[in-house]
Amino acid sequence: MNGDRNILKELIAERIKENGPISFREFMEMALYYPKFGYYEKEVSIGKTGDFVTSPKVGSIFGRTLFKAFREMLEIVESNTLLELGAGDGTLAEDIILKAKEINIELDYIIIEKSEKLRRMIRNKLGKYRVKILKSLEEIGDKISGIIFSNELIDALPVHIVEREKDGLYEIFIDCKDGEFEELKVKLKDKRIISYINEMGIELRDGQRIEVNLDAEKILASIYEILEKGFVVFIDYGYIAEEITAPYRLKGTLRGFKGHRIVDDVLKEPGSIDITSSVNFTALAKLAKEIGYELIGFTNQANFLVDAGILEEIRNEDDIKAVKYLILPNGGMGEVFKVLILAKGIGKVHLSSLKNAPKRPSFNIL
């Protein structure tokens, strides 16, 4: 910010002044998505020179391999339709479309991207291909059969934060004092959060925090309505429930990013940093099952990509470097990134990309 005026900070402060403290979820929603001034509407910069790197930005081999996995699923569904949620600047979409073209498959590619700035970047990048670019799932008219997927969407959704104190559960709200934001703990009374915590069987220690991602539930339900028949694939970083609430993770998983560095104080300069939290895959799978999805499988990114044929896809030195980063467990994205595959109207299937999905208890998500 370098001393520049932070208009978003003023807008959030004004809202708090008018309506009283806001939930952390509301703060995060404004900080990331407020028209013109939210992080994803203004500053967003994904890639090696940006604030954070996602798998598509590591190398096109990620998208090329993803398409190999998708091809098998598309054959099962007998469709050529892909719907990508939260497509960033369209890098992954382009890699997938080009890989499909190599084998003469013309995809019907639909993108749902919330940020106006990113939709503009996507239009520039993908204008030459057959791609439909929409702002929200509500804009889709007809039901679709095919694959609905996302890479790092769930981790970018605004979350509620709950903390256990000696006398019960509190929700974190944000107040404003002398133009600066500060946390306020308010006795938890939001019934949706209470029932989420009860249903998930979440037990917190004194002083422990967790993030509650109710927006993920909304998205799961909307996708279920839109999908006539097909697969849903979520790729994201995260853990199973036991790891999320483990004693060593007392402070939850929420963090900020700027220029590849972790920003501890996510309240300080809203709009200028990315804010993100790890996905609770147990919660996501449980919600999916309740909604009616078939649970096809859960694996880590390394196993998924290797099973989908990433090693056979290596064409040059850059690919080798990218593969290392995408699949190595420590310091890479292989272990902490997970892949959850759901389906509707498919029944029991065996996907090649899940051939070596780990059988360890830490992959038992239900």
Q: Closest separation between CB of residue 123 and ligand SAM, Å?
A: 14
User: Minimum CB separation from ligand SAM for residue 224, in Å?
Assistant: 15
CA 349 to chain centre: 25
With respect to ligand SAM, which residue has the nearer C-beta, 74 or 133? 133
Separation CA 3–CA 325 (nearest Å): 36
Helix boundaries (H) for 292-332: 301-308, 317-327
Query: Does residue 114 bind ligand SAM (CB under 6 A)?
Result: yes
Burial letters 255-285, b for 16+ CB under 10 A, else e: bbbbeeeebeebbebbbbbbbbbbbbbbbbb
Q: Restricting to residues 252-281, name those near ligand SAM by CB under 6 A.
A: none
Enumerate the H helices of 157-280 as residue ranges: 191-199, 214-226, 241-244
Is residue 113 involved in binding ligand SAM (CB under 6 A)? yes
Comparing every residue's Cβ against ligand SAM, the nearest one is 86
Residue for token pair 């997927």: 149
Among 28, 66, 73, 118, binds ligand SAM (CB under 6 A): 118
Choosing from 51, 152, 171, 269, the residue that interacts with ligand SAM (CB under 6 A) is: 152
Smallest distance, ligand SAM to C-beta of residue 252, A: 18
Q: Please tell me whether residue 301 binds ligand SAM under the rule CB under 6 A.
A: no
8, 93, 153, 233: which one contacts ligand SAM (CB under 6 A)? 153
CB 28 within 8 A of CB 159: yes
Q: Which stretch binds ligand SAM (CB under 6 A): 67-75, 108-116, 291-299, 304-312?
A: 108-116
Rounded-to-integer distance, Cα 287 and Cα 276, Å: 21
Span from 151-159, 250-258, 308-316, 351-359 in contact with ligand SAM (CB under 6 A): 151-159
- DSSP codes joined into one string, 159-181: -EEEEEETTEEEEEEEEEETTEE
Q: CA 168, CA 25: separation in Å to the nearest integer?
A: 20
d(CA 328, CA 191): 41
Based on CB atoms, which residue is closest to ligand SAM, 126 or 188? 126
Would you say 110 or 174 has its CB closer to ligand SAM?
Answer: 110
* SS3 category, 197: helix
Binding string, residues 48-77; x marks residues near ligand SAM by CB under 6 A? ------x-xx--------------------
Site size toward ligand SAM (CB under 6 A) is: 20
209 binds ligand SAM (CB under 6 A): no
Residue 100 amino acid letter = A
- Indicate the residue among 170 and 337 with the shorter CB distance to ligand SAM: 337
Nearer to ligand SAM, 17 or 48 (CB): 48
- Indicate the SS3 state at residue 268: coil
Is the CB of 245 or the CB of 277 nearer to ligand SAM?
277
Q: Tell me the HSE value of 119 on the side-chain side, using a 13 A CA sphere.
A: 16
Q: Is 309 helix (H, G, I), strand (E, B) or coil?
A: coil
Separation of CA 8 from chain center: 24
Q: Which stretch binds ligand SAM (CB under 6 A): 149-157, 254-262, 278-286, 306-314?
A: 149-157
Query: Which residue from 93, 112, 244, 287 is in contact with ligand SAM, where contact means CB under 6 A?
Result: 112
**Interface positions with ligand SAM (CB under 6 A):** 40, 46, 54, 56-57, 85-88, 92, 112-115, 118, 151-153, 156-157
